[in-house]
Amino acid sequence: MAKIGVVGAGYVGLTSAVCFAELGHDVIALDVDAKKITQLQNGSIPIYEPGLEDLLNKNIQNKKIYFEIEVSKLNDCDYVFLCVPTPQDTDGAADLSYVLKAVRTLSKILKKNSILVTKSTVPVNSWKSIELTLNRVDVDIVSNPEFLREGSAISDFFNPDRIVVGCKNIDSAIKVAKLYKNELAEVISTDNTSAELIKYASNSFLALKLSFVNELAALCENVQANVIDVLKGFGKDQRIGEHFISPGPGWGGSCFPKDVKALNIISEQNLSAMSLLSATIESNQKTLKRIVDKIERILDNNLVEKKIALLGLAFKANTDDVRESPAIAIAERLSDRGAKVCAFDPKVKTLVNEKIIIAKDLDECISDSEIIVLLTEWPEFKDINPETISNKLKNKVIFDTRNILIKDLWEKSGFLFFGNGR
């Protein structure tokens, strides 16, 4: 078993720390936020991530994990994982300052011959600045990007498609890969720069894929094709694949928007501008606009004072995260066009946004609404019975931007039903 330190108890750091503890390692997780550390040490997590709180409590009880604010407590760790944020700076590039600040402090306390692992998503070639700042010839730097999805982070940690480790010293890279104790996942051992780029390439390609299917959905509507059948026929080609091709109101979250922009800048700075990246971003903006325009068209081209019931605010299901959520962007645009926007989300209960009213329950959200618009694919929305809600609405109209509802069922109950791309 190894002694592991994790710097940054945000979504990635916390999930990784808890999962490493579950694998039997001794873990110390560190954060600068003392309030958060107390909360975590008491077994409660500040985010919604299915299963994480239970796993945390189990490992606190087993004394496999504990939380600290003092960096010096990491001085006997064999491995220290950097999981601090790399937010977007004003021009869209990733800001490395939190990473380098942490490295500066670690430089003085890391155990001899320990390994520093970069998990934060960092601009390509950041490992060079990390190495310079660290200034420790005895400590190897392994770039080990994460591929955890919010909402399914635990399962992604234990069942990764691959483990990427980049280092000058292959032995250190393999040691880090072995910490995951996973015989099934393929280990991609490479240099640091390639490992850093794999992360950006993955997120950017996934976003590109979604921009493509969202544009395809728009085309399907205009030529009267059914996007669900089109995607089935297209995804069955194994070179394309059936995963991650569901049209929606646009892609969002804390990673895709930030990472696509960052890679775009990296490509431009390195004289290899990837034009598809700006097209991917632009296309996503077009999708948001298309959804808002469609709602306006359905409501006779006039949104003024019309109550619109939005189902979902989180950027996707199984999370309470609203960062860069397409649902919020759409809600704001509807409000700007004069609509009264009322939203219900199973997990998002507060918002610093005066344009959006958050209903306490579904009934309050839909009552007297002119249209229901489903924006986040929460499974509980599939269980809404059109019969029982009919008499609460002003108009029996629903627009399912995620294509998760059964059209026939709603139409049988007298609803005017709109899907996305069908």
Binding mask 330-369 for ligand UGA (x = CB under 6 A): ----------------------------------------
Alpha-helical runs (H) found in 273-399: 275-298, 326-336, 362-366, 379-382, 386-389
Inter-CA distances, 290 with 108, 159, 294, 296, 333, Å = 53, 36, 6, 10, 11
Q: Is the CB of 378 or the CB of 415 nearer to ligand UGA?
A: 378
Is the dihedral angle over the CA atoms 327, 329, 394, 344 positive or is it negative? positive
CA-wise closest residue to 13 among 146, 210, 180, 141: 146
Choose the binding region for ligand UGA from 19-27, 148-156, 232-240, 301-309 (rule: CB under 6 A). 148-156
Angle at 233 between CA 228 and CA 234, to 5 degrees: 95
Q: Is the CB of 248 or the CB of 386 nearer to ligand UGA?
A: 248
Query: How many residues touch ligand UGA (CB under 6 A)?
Result: 20
Catalytic residue among 220, 255, 342, 365: 255
Rule CB under 6 A: say whether 136 interacts with ligand UGA.
no
19 assigned to active site: no
Q: Is the CB of 256 or the CB of 415 nearer to ligand UGA?
A: 256
- 252, 346, 386, 421: which one binds ligand UGA (CB under 6 A): 252
Rule CB under 6 A: say whether 299 interacts with ligand UGA.
no
Q: Which residues in 86-125 contact ligand UGA (CB under 6 A)?
A: 121
CB of 197 to ligand UGA, least distance (A): 14
Widest pairwise Cα distance in the chain: 72
Q: Is the CB of 213 or the CB of 365 nearer to ligand UGA?
A: 213
Residue 381, amino acid:
F
- 143, 190, 204, 246: which one binds ligand UGA (CB under 6 A): 246
Q: What are phi and psi of 169, to 5 degrees?
A: -110, 110
Q: Is the CB of 306 or the CB of 333 nearer to ligand UGA?
A: 333
- State how far the Cα of 295 lies from the Cα of 315, in Å rounded to an integer: 19
CB of 253 to ligand UGA, least distance (A): 3
Tell the burial category of 220 from Cβ atoms under 10 Å away from its Cβ (0-12, 13-18, 19+): buried
Inter-CA distances, 185 with 7, 168, 188, 243, 280, Å = 25, 22, 9, 18, 30
Q: Which residues in 166-225 contact ligand UGA (CB under 6 A)?
A: 203, 206, 210
Beta bridge partners of 282: none
Q: Which residues are catalytic?
A: 255
Interface ranges with ligand UGA (CB under 6 A): 121, 146-150, 203, 206, 210, 244-246, 248, 251-253, 255-256, 315-316
